Structure 1
Amino acid sequence: MGLLTIIKKQKLKDKECRCLVLGLDNSGKSTVVDWVLSVYKNQDRRTITPTVGFQIHTVPFANHNVQLWDIGGQSTLRPYWDNYFDKTDVLLWVMDTAAASRMDESVQELKTILRNRDRLGYNCRIIVLLNKKDLVEGADKVTQTLQSDLERLLQLENVPIETRASNALTGEGLETLMASIVGGKCVDRGVRESTIKSIS
């Protein structure tokens, strides 16, 4: 392996962006990931089955390698979520807006995660997808209310949050998701680590 190849691979590694995709079971996490893979890796859409354990997908975008960690949301798996928190740049939390009876459960699980922000990392950004809006009557009003409630709730926790309504089957609302994931504070890991070292 030549030196230039090694340097190139190291640069790509430094520009890795780790995105943890979490939410309750059947919220549409894997469908979101499937849409991303179909658009940015030209993969065929597939029949989605519940994720048992986790799946990792690497997607190139804007000179970054975005690692999407799709973690199962069943209640039996949730106690193990924090095993995946280390070095996470973005938490993508997916909520099923059509399952009104589970919204409180979803919010409580998100709050539980945020109580572990020392593990998740205080620089980790939070993006909440209000998914399955196509199944909700008066979706715009419902999602606006949910967005307002979430922002108010998480501002009390001093957590910066981005919310967006989506339909993962068609990709509506996901068009700029990857830009949001790598944008802003998702900087070169090598630069970030060297900065931290210089400060310490």
Structure 2
Amino acid sequence: ICSNTDFLLALCQRVLSCFRALCCKGPPPPRPEYDVVCIGLTGAGKTSLLSRLCSEGTDNIVPTTGFSIKAVPFQNAILNVKELGGADTIKKYWSRYYQGSQGVIFVLDSACSEEDLEAARTELHSALQHPQLCTLPFLILANHQDKPAARSVQEIKKYFELEPLARGKSWILDASSVDNMDAVKESFSQLIKLLEEKDAETGRI
């Protein structure tokens, strides 16, 4: 009888353990959130990329005036992206919105004119050297790769002189297009890894 009692007790404990494992896990731990600033000239495609990442429509996209904020969800993190308008009248105020940023997304039109490409180069160089951004991870997207005139990542890398300028910094340069959002998501996942590494380093300090 004792043996049967012990067996039933063990069985009940096992069933209770399984029930707790299935039903009493509690809510999953919150995903870390990172504040990221997104900059680039008007027409680079910042708003379209961010809208697609948030599963929003892009049929009525208009250039951002001032700034907008989107919470872009990923499996292991949430990026609170502050997108700044790229018009000449707005660019001069970009630095007012840098405070509190933990990472930078710079979007450029890889199929733009030589004049606009030079302007994008100037703005990226300025951001890479800005006191509030220079130590942060950068994701640089050579956007509009679906256009026939698009320059390759290697051409952009050489023209922007990224190797000497960004040496010692955490940065990624990737091709992008709204026609290939899987690649864009992968680029953002790489940025999240850099943000996590930066976060871990700060924690150790």
TM norm. shorter chain > 0.5: yes
Does the CA contact (< 8 Å) of 2:54 and 2:73 recur in 1? no
Residue 48 (structure 1) aligned with residue 57 (structure 2): no
- Alignment correspondent of 2:147: 135
Deviations 1:96-146 (A, max 9, x none): 111132111100011112221x21251x11111111111134x4x633211
Relative to the length of structure 2, the TM-score reads 0.74
Give the distance between the partners of 2:198 and 2:118, measured in 1 at CA: 36
Does the CA contact (< 8 Å) of 1:87 and 1:121 recur in 2? no
- CA displacement at 1:180 relative to structure 2: 1.6
> 5+ unaligned residues in a row in structure 1: which ranges?
1-7
Residue 107 (structure 1) aligned with residue 116 (structure 2): no
Structure 1's 178 and 161: CA in aligned 2 closer, same or farther, altered over 3 A?
A: closer
In the TM superposition, structure 1's runs of 4+ consecutive aligned residues that sit over 4 Å from their partners are 191-194
- CA displacement at 1:181 relative to structure 2: 2.3
Q: What secondary structure does 1:50 align onto?
A: coil
Does the CA contact (< 8 Å) of 2:45 and 2:109 recur in 1? yes
- Alignment correspondent of 1:83: 96
- CA displacement at 1:18 relative to structure 2: 1.6
Does the CA contact (< 8 Å) of 1:19 and 1:181 recur in 2? no
Q: Which amino acid aligns with 1:127?
A: L
* Aligned partner of 1:24 among 41, 57, 69: 41
- Alignment correspondent of 2:15: none
Q: What secondary structure does 1:186 align onto?
A: helix
Residue 173 (structure 1) aligned with residue 190 (structure 2): no
Does the CA contact (< 8 Å) of 1:154 and 1:161 recur in 2? no
Does the CA contact (< 8 Å) of 1:34 and 1:46 recur in 2? no
Q: Relative contact order, CA 8 A, sep 6+: which one is greater?
A: 1
> 5+ unaligned residues in a row in structure 2: which ranges?
1-26
- Alignment correspondent of 1:97: 110
Give the distance between the partners of 1:110 and 1:154, measured in 2 at CA: 13
- CA displacement at 1:59 relative to structure 2: 2.3
- CA displacement at 1:91 relative to structure 2: 0.9
Q: What secondary structure does 2:89 align onto?
A: coil
Q: Aligned pair count? A: 177
Does the CA contact (< 8 Å) of 1:129 and 1:166 recur in 2? yes
Q: What secondary structure does 2:92 align onto?
A: helix
Does the CA contact (< 8 Å) of 2:146 and 2:179 recur in 1? no
- CA displacement at 1:147 relative to structure 2: 2.6
Give the distance between the partners of 1:64 and 1:153, measured in 2 at CA: 28
Give the distance between the partners of 2:47 and 2:201, measured in 1 at CA: 30
Give the distance between the partners of 2:177 and 2:153, measured in 1 at CA: 12
Q: How does 1:1-40 map to 2 (within 5 A)?
A: 12=30, 15-38=32-55
- Alignment correspondent of 1:5: none
Residue 59 (structure 1) aligned with residue 72 (structure 2): yes
